[in-house]
Structure 1
């Protein structure tokens, strides 16, 4: 199964034990598999994060295909655009015991408008829970983006004033200032700023927000975060 020049990952069991062949190891680089310290759980390998929906379909017993996904590996130059193929691997009783993920270089797709492919996003994460802030930043970096984290709105405003960010990813409930007011000031300073809110209260506190945004309900899944990033990589519709 692993004797192939194609990069392969084998996910075994729902506890996500992951095996990979030499081709995948060469692609991912020496940093692959290193787990963050403390009590923070490891992030999912980029192909599994980028094809989260297709991975779930394979767990349900259906072969799935995720074309043209952008993969970036931390500390490696092996990223790029790949087609991902997910195949269920069945046990003797015909239950799905694992999923095989194969990577193949994606054929270039010409852009109708002649625009360049969107590059990594620079994201400011505002979260007063230090463990959650660390985990979100690690996940964003695993997706191939640049991420800085702060815990207080005042620090966030200082960062926004000193550097350029594409996305503000902020908790709604923050000390001293709500995430909504923080985002309002950020958008006033940089109208092109894209905003993602994370909230444990749903959209109740976001009903009167006058600028475009996306929101994630805590606790959110890894594929939901990836989908939100995919959406903010393009212009967002204006909410009314």
Structure 2
């Protein structure tokens, strides 16, 4: 049983009875503590709570979202996912599964006000007394510099990465993520174009899909490594590692669809060997 003592502090000054989280006297201790911390912190904070995904936020978050945004403290189930949660949906869902994470330099677009902000997002699972996750606390911090973002993401210096992906939507997404991590990057849709760019640019990493039109990603990597032995190779494949078993040089591989944390780890491993 949770402590049923009357709620005090900032959270206790609001009538929550008609909100999605219900009357404060019925709250578990974890929710009470988190809400009081949230309201006493000047950093913009957003709390998503319970199976209904009710959203609570502090005044700093309301001010960040713009004058057209509802005032704190919230407590409703939103029709649209709030900007910080939508900007890093996988990390948000991962936090509900118990995984804390930091996502640097994410663009936040607030639908109500039209405001756009870059921010670092920190997702923290809030656990109940039985160890299950009751909600997710999202802190919205000023963005780190690109160089520091790269250091946080990889544990090392920024990389220069050539992305070879014939699906333009996927290519754009990967390049955007790499830029958010602070890495220089360029994208191309086929192996022939990749070889031209490699000849012109000082790339540390070749990040290529295995299946490409014309020359495959595997053959591309072989030619690229013959020309540039220091080049690190990361393969992305939707067909497993069967096509990679005969490769004679060191490489890293990601199975599509991969998670952002897996990409970060691959980059960290590549940076450690540069």
- After TM superposition, the score normalised by the length of structure 2 is 0.56
Aligned pairs (5 A) from 1:219-234: 219-234=257-272
**Of 59, 69, 90, which aligns to 2:96?**
59
Query: 1:187/1:43 Cα in 2 relative to 1: closer, same or farther (>3 Å)?
Result: farther
Deviations along 1:192-237, one digit per CA (max 9) or x if unpaired, are: 211110111111011111111111111222222122112212118x
Q: What CA deviation, in whole Å up to 9, does each residue of 1:107-160 have, x standing for no partner?
A: xxxxxxxxxx62222211101111111111122222222221110111111111
* Greater radius of gyration (CA): 2
Answer yes or no: is the 8 Å Cα contact 2:210–2:237 preserved in 1. yes
How many aligned positions are there? 196
Deviations 1:34-91 (A, max 9, x none): 9xxxxxxx7528xx85xx8xx73x524x6x766xx79445799977xx9x6723166x
Are the structure 2 counterparts of residues 78 and 208 from structure 1 closer, same or farther at C-alpha, using a change threshold of 3 Å?
same
Counterpart contact for 1:167–1:193, Cα < 8 Å: yes
Runs of 5+ in structure 2 lacking a partner?
1-37, 65-82, 108-115, 143-154
Among candidates 44, 59, 75, match of residue 88 of structure 2: 44
Distance 1:181 1:73, change over 3 A: same
After TM superposition, the structure 1 = structure 2 runs for residues 133-148 of structure 1, keeping only pairs within 5 Å, are 133-148=171-186
Report the Cα offset of residue 11 of structure 1. 4.9
Distance 1:151 1:19 in 2: 43
Q: Which has the higher helix share?
A: 2
| Structure 1 residues 95 and 203, CA gap change in structure 2 (3 angstroms) | closer
Question: Is 1:198 paired with 2:236?
Answer: yes
Displacement over 3 Å in runs of 4+? 5-23, 69-79, 94-97, 101-105
SS in 2 for 1:234: helix
1:5 corresponds to which residue?
42
Aligned-partner SS, 2:272:
coil
Map of 2:136 onto structure 1? 99
1:129 counterpart residue number: 167
Q: 1:214 to 1:18 in 2, by over 3 A?
A: farther
**C-alpha distance in structure 1 between counterparts of 2:124 and 2:264, whole Å:** 18
Following the alignment from structure 1 to structure 2, what is the Cα–Cα distance between the partners of residues 119 and 213? 19
Q: CA, structure 1 residues 215+104, in 2 after alignment: closer, same or farther (shift >3 Å)?
A: same
1:212 aligns to 2:271 (yes or no): no
RMSD (CA atoms): 4.1
Residue aligned with 1:118, SS = coil
Q: Aligned residue for 2:199?
A: 161
Residues 45, 138 of structure 2: 8 Å contact kept: yes
